Amino acid sequence: MDELTHFTDAGRARMVDVSGKPSTNRVAIASGILRMQAATLACIRSGSIAKGDVLTVADVSAVMAAKRTADIIPMCHSLSLSGVEVVFSDLAEPDASGSVGIKVVTTASCSGQTGVEMEALHAASVALLTIYDMCKAIDRGMRIESIQLEEKRGGKSGIWNRAKGIT
């Protein structure tokens, strides 16, 4: 197991000093799922949610979240992101509980001294929370699940992919 670098020898939390690391191109991809009733998904897709275009608002909120990650996660470095991409897809096949859903995949990229995993994960989380917020009046039983890192590229550790492991 890798050493935890966000703690001093005395056990105190710290922001890791990355000033000695070379800048490399960094990419991280994260995903998450929001499960809901089929009628809720139909309302989102038909544009009949009273608060507005749900996925457009969620897209913007994901980008804003990625850009503000260091303001929310205490030990994250402020990064100059070069791009954030957000893709939504329907999970129209019901799961065991009969719920359908929306999957979000976020990709964050930069050239820097530290990775963008937290930015991609934060973007995916906030996108799903935004959809929940906009639809809660018609479906309070929605549930967020499976927020996870799918892939990261760049830096000393190279490429990691959930499906393939470290490459």
pLDDT for 25 beyond 70: yes
Number of domains in the chain: 1
Check 9, 59, 133, 139 and give the catalytic one: 133
**pLDDT tens, residue by residue, 70-123:** 999 998 999 999 999 999 999 989 999 999 999 999 999 999 988 899 999 999
**pLDDT tens, residue by residue, 150-162:** 999 998 888 999 9
- List the structure tokens of 97: 């509980």
Residues 6+ apart with CB under 8 A from 98: none
Whether residue 144 lies inside any domain: the answer is: yes
Q: What is the CATH number of the domain that holds 98?
A: 3.30.70.640
Whether residue 160 lies inside any domain: the answer is: no
Whether residue 53 lies inside any domain: the answer is: yes
Whether residue 101 lies inside any domain: the answer is: yes
Active-site annotation holds for 133: yes
Domain span at 149 = 34-155
Whether residue 76 lies inside any domain: the answer is: yes
Whether residue 14 lies inside any domain: the answer is: no
Whether residue 57 lies inside any domain: the answer is: yes
CA–CA dist 133, 24 (Å, integer)? 37
